[in-house]
Amino acid sequence: MLDYSKYYSNLAKRIKASEIREILAILKTKRDVISFAGGIPDPTLFPKQELVEIARDVIEQYGDDALQYSETKGVREVREAVCKFMYAKKGFKCDLEDVIITTGSQSALDIIARTLLDPGDVVITENPSYLAAIGAFKNAGGRLIGVDIDDFGMKTHVLEEILRSMSEVERSKVKFIYTIPVAQNPAGVSLSSERKKHLLEIASKYDLLILEDDPYSYIVFEEGVDKTPLKALDREGRVIYISTISKILAPGLRIGWIISLNDLTRKIELVKQYVDLHSPTFTQYITAEAIKRGVIDKVISRAIPLYKAKRDLMLKAMKEHFPEYTWYSKPVGGLFIFAYVYKEGFDAGKLLPLAIEKYKVAYVPGGSFHVDGRGANSMRINFSYSTYEQIIEGIKRLATLIKEN
């Protein structure tokens, strides 16, 4: 066999298989393990009958276009539907020329990273933050600086202090702040109204862009949470907004979108052109119809009580079974609880094989969500996918694992 390593790019050389990913990949074959590892929706929410009808209607009514190549930015009618959806759900107006339909929000993250980052450039994120966003930024050569979070999201005074104490040279390398302001992944916390304003002020003061990732704000369980996107508060054109149907319709359609800004939209479009030509025309049309027919609204209205019930049950089980030396987030929405175990030497990553083999429970070790090597004692726990019975039993098992190790 040839030694292929000599052909690899620096990116390919640098990128390593994640041991954790490997371990979690085998879960599918282990039916007796309760997995809180995925970030995946409850499939009972998929509006199958409606999607059968929509798929049929799309092919019959728009087939010549819906099955054909289409514009790199996205089908015009789909961008229009997304604009209306954004206005209805998020309260901001957008010009359809600033919308770019992407192949899921992962592709949005990748394309934006490539449009903005050169090797050595800096991205500031919440710490912990979404691991595949961190991956996309690193792939583009980005360096990550993390800002701690609490129950009200990113500690913006810490952010300001980080920026203030940077050398001018280092500061000039900061391109944007990446944030999931509402029902954050992995912690489920939301940025308070005051901090939103503060964050925008900081971006203005230090002349930075903000990349706002907003997949979860449709599914918020608590009254009184400020769901206003930064995009709606942005007066200076600093916020690039991304969202997706993955949590409110079906991730397998792979449709997300960017609401970008003027010239930047054009650049993102040009980069996307050679990345995938355009996102799937067929599932774009399906998405637009699901918006227009109120199917997404229906999924959302079913998802909120379902996920709230699951979260409540999981928190209750944790309260009952988790030892005192643990801290876990009380997510206001989304799909995840994030937990820290304050016990000497507790390493969630090292324990994962044992968790699966002996305790028959799985989670994502929290280290990979941290950008600074911390978080070995943390884990992300998904509550959206498992059944009620699995939640109760799985949390018991997890508690036993924590106590015994």
Nearer residue to a copy of itself within complex by CB, 171 or 396: 171
One-letter amino acid of 305: P
From the CB of 277, what's the least distance to a copy of itself, in Å? 4
Nearer to a copy of itself, 76 or 316 (CB): 76
**Residue (278 or 380) nearer to a copy of itself, CB:** 278
Task: Please give the angle made by the CA atoms of 342, 331 and 395, to the nearest 5 degrees.
Answer: 55
Residue written as tokens 């913006």?
Answer: 156
Q: Cα-flanking dihedrals φ and ψ of residue 127, to 5°?
A: -130, 105
Closest separation in Å from C-beta 294 to a copy of itself: 18
Please identify, using beta-carbon distances, which residue of 326 and 384 lies nearer to a copy of itself: 384
Minimum CB–partner distance for residue 385 and a copy of itself (Å): 10
**C-beta atoms surrounding 81 within 10 Å:** 21
Which is closer to a copy of itself, CB of 29 or CB of 167? 29
Which of 255/399 has CB closer to a copy of itself? 255
How far apart are CB 47 and a copy of itself at their closest, in Å?
A: 9
Minimum Å gap between C-beta 72 and a copy of itself is: 9
227 vs 254 by CB, closer to a copy of itself: 254
Task: Please say which residue, 59 or 166, places its beta carbon nearer to a copy of itself.
Answer: 59
Extract the tokens encoding 338.
């994030």
Contact 391, 313 (CB under 8 A): yes
User: For residue 335, what are its two tokens?
Assistant: 């799909």
CA distance linking residue 117 with residue 402, whole number of Å: 40
Q: How far apart are CA 172 and CA 81, in angstroms?
A: 38
Contact status, residue 279 vs residue 102, Cβ threshold 8 Å: yes
Strand 99-102 vs strand 256-259: parallel, antiparallel, or unpaired?
A: antiparallel
Q: Quote the least distance from Cβ 236 to a copy of itself, whole Å.
A: 7
DSSP secondary structure code for residue 28 in this structure: G
Residue 108 Cβ vs a copy of itself, minimum distance, rounded to whole Å: 10
Least separation in angstroms between residue 18's CB and a copy of itself is: 9
Which structure tokens are listed for 370?
A: 């941290």
* Residue 135 near residue 115, CB atoms below 8 Å: no
In Å, how far from its chain's centre is CA 133?
Answer: 7
Q: DSSP for 119-149, please give it.
A: TT-EEEEEES--HHHHHHHHHTT-EEEEEEE
Q: Residue 79 and residue 98: Cα distance in Å, rounded?
A: 9
Look at strands 143-150 and 122-127 and give their pairing: parallel
- Cβ proximity to a copy of itself: between 267 and 396 the closer is 267
The least distance separating a copy of itself from the CB of residue 146, rounded to whole angstroms, comes to 18
Both tokens of 24, joined, read: 């979690």
209-213 and 361-362: which strand pairing?
unpaired
Which positions ≥6 away from 287 have C-beta within 8 Å? 78, 81, 82, 245, 249, 253, 255
Q: Both tokens of residue 324?
A: 């005192």
Minimum CB separation of residue 340 from a copy of itself in Å reads 26
Output 138 or 195, the one with its CB closest to a copy of itself. Answer: 138
